[in-house]
């Protein structure tokens, strides 16, 4: 059997033989070694606090359905979650409102515009999708109107449940975004003017900047991803975090819109629902199988981590993770475990 074919059947093998997770560790280490020297890309500099982070960290983590986490390199270094938060606040809103009511707040249409574009869908007068800033701020505005002053603590609680440990946020990055986030404030006022929400813009933005400043590690992202892969139940703690419909809907939008302008390329090359953040994180979900978390802060011009994308593409290729890969053994992996 050639090496790639052997790797591709590995995920299903793990269900029957947990010792093969060691082989998965070896593959993950190999991918890490392959890209370790790649220092292409730049730090996000439009948020001064982010321009000061150490640029060369590189960590990869896989969250398995047993709750085990394979962590390689800088997988325990904390960084701000940034836009990866958008997928999880969206899942929260879906849980609270259902898909029909949520569709009155934000669409599900890829936009082909940069993530911070100040525009609404001309047909609906709503944000295109929840993965760009207009949509994410609309979601946060709606959460603010549903949850009142407790909105941020509820967001932190749900994110912590998805990660399987109590999370905190970075006060400095939060302040830095507060001081410089004029585009996001402009988006907030646009949304309020369009009656997407009727909350005070400054209060909505405070929550949005805080949610982007939540500190996670690549290992946390792997567990948060595994929670979505595991139909909304955290495999580490066994806690049910999101409902089935919300997970299906959030993963669908992550598949089409999660990587901004790079989403089409990503869908073909990697074939996984995913979300990136300008803090350098990339989270990918192999449905009913595993969560992948990568941290590497140097970004390409779309605002996606350079090594984060290379890592996910390599793992998808070597392990046959692409959703439409004929060798993806898919949901059989979890049979008997749900
Ligand atoms: N907090 C950042 C912003 O709103 C998040 C952007 C991102 O991660 N793409 O600009």
- Atom 2 of ligand 1 has which residue's CA nearest to it? 82
To the query of whether residue 86 is one of the catalytic residues in this protein, the response is yes
Q: What is the pLDDT of residues 190-201, one digit of tens each?
A: 999 999 999 999
**Would you say the CB of residue 89 lies under 6 angstroms from ligand 1?**
no
Q: What is the Å distance from ligand 1's center to 82 Cα?
A: 5
Measured CA to CA, the distance from residue 69 to residue 185 in angstroms comes to 38
For residue 107, the model assigns a pLDDT of: 97
**Confidence label for 4 from pLDDT (cuts 50, 70 and 90):** low
**Would you say the CB of residue 116 lies under 6 angstroms from ligand 1?**
yes
Whether residue 333 has pLDDT greater than 50? no
Q: What is the Å distance from ligand 1's center to 185 Cα?
A: 12
For residue 320, the model assigns a pLDDT of: 87
Which has the minimum average pLDDT: 5-9, 103-107, 314-318? 5-9
Q: What is the Å distance from ligand 1's center to 178 Cα?
A: 12
Report, as an integer, the average pLDDT of 127-155: 97
Query: Which CATH number does the domain 83-212 belong to among 3.40.710.10, 3.90.79.10, 3.40.640.10, 3.40.50.970?
Result: 3.40.710.10
To the query of whether residue 278 is one of the catalytic residues in this protein, the response is yes
Give me the catalytic one of 88, 90, 174, 208: 208
Cα 218 to the center of its chain, rounded Å? 11
- Atom 6 of ligand 1 has which residue's CA nearest to it? 83
To the query of whether residue 260 is one of the catalytic residues in this protein, the response is yes
Q: Please, which contacts does 24-29 make with residues 24 or more away whose CB atoms are closer than 8 Å?
A: 24/62, 24/64, 24/70, 25/70, 25/72, 27/315, 27/318, 27/319, 28/60, 28/62, 28/70, 28/72, 28/315, 29/72
Q: Up-side HSE of residue 44: CA atoms within 13 Å toward CB?
A: 24
Report, as an integer, the average pLDDT of 133-158: 97
**Would you say the CB of residue 278 lies under 6 angstroms from ligand 1?**
yes
Question: In CATH terms, are 3-78+214-244+255-335 and 83-212 the same topology?
Answer: yes
**Would you say the CB of residue 133 lies under 6 angstroms from ligand 1?**
yes
Whether residue 335 has pLDDT greater than 50? no
Which has the minimum average pLDDT: 13-22, 23-32, 175-184? 13-22
Q: What is the Å distance from ligand 1's center to 298 Cα?
A: 14
To the query of whether residue 208 is one of the catalytic residues in this protein, the response is yes
Report, as an integer, the average pLDDT of 277-303: 96
CATH number of the domain at 3-78+214-244+255-335, please?
3.40.710.10
Helix (H, G, I), strand (E, B) or coil at 169: strand
**Would you say the CB of residue 85 lies under 6 angstroms from ligand 1?**
no
Domain layout of the chain by residue ranges: 3-78+214-244+255-335, 83-212
pTM: 0.93
DSSP per-residue codes, 209-273: HHHHTBEE-HHHHHHHHHHHHTTTB-TTT--B-S-HHHHHHHHHHHHHHTTGGGHHHHHHHT-S-
**Confidence label for 334 from pLDDT (cuts 50, 70 and 90):** very low
Give me the catalytic one of 31, 69, 85, 86: 86
Count other C-beta atoms under 10 Å from residue 301's C-beta: 10
**Would you say the CB of residue 289 lies under 6 angstroms from ligand 1?**
no
Give me the catalytic one of 105, 132, 270, 278: 278
Residue partners of 178: CB distance under 8 A and separation at least 6: 205, 206, 209
Report, as an integer, the average pLDDT of 309-336: 76
């Amino acid at each position: 059997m050639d090496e790639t074919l052997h790797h591709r059947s590995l995920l299903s093998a793990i269900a029957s033989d947990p010792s093969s997770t060691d082989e998965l560790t070896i593959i993950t280490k190999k991918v890490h070694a392959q890209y370790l020297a790649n220092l292409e890309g730049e730090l996000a500099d439009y948020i001064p606090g982010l321009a000061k982070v150490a640029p060369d960290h590189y960590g990869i983590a896989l969250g398995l359905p047993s709750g085990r986490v394979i962590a390689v390199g800088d997988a325990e270094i904390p960084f701000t979650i940034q836009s990866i938060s958008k997928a999880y606040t969206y899942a929260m809103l879906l849980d609270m409102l259902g898909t029909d009511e949520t569709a009155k707040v934000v669409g599900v249409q890829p936009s082909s515009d940069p993530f911070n574009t100040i525009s609404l869908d001309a047909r609906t007068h709503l944000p295109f999708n929840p993965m760009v800033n207009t949509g994410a701020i609309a979601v946060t505005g709606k959460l603010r109107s549903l949850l009142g002053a407790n909105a941020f603590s509820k967001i932190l609680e749900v994110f912590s449940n998805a990660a399987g440990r109590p999370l905190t946020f970075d006060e400095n990055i939060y302040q830095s975004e507060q001081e410089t986030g004029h585009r996001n404030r402009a988006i907030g006022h646009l949304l309020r003017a369009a009656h997407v929400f009727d909350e005070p813009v400054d209060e909505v933005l405070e929550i949005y900047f805080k949610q982007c400043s939540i500190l996670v590690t690549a290992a946390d992202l792997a567990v948060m991803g595994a929670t979505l892969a595991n139909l909304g139940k955290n495999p580490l703690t066994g806690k049910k975090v999101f409902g089935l419909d919300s997970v299906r809907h959030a993963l669908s939008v992550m598949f089409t819109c999660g990587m901004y302008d790079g989403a089409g390329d990503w869908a073909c090359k990697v074939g996984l629902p995913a979300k990136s953040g300008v803090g350098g994180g990339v989270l990918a979900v192999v449905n009913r199988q595993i969560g992948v978390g990568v941290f590497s802060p140097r970004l390409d011009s779309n605002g996606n981590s350079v090594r984060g994308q290379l890592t996910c593409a390599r793992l998808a290729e070597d392990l046959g993770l692409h959703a439409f890969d004929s060798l993806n053994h898919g949901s059989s992996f979890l049979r008997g475990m749900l």
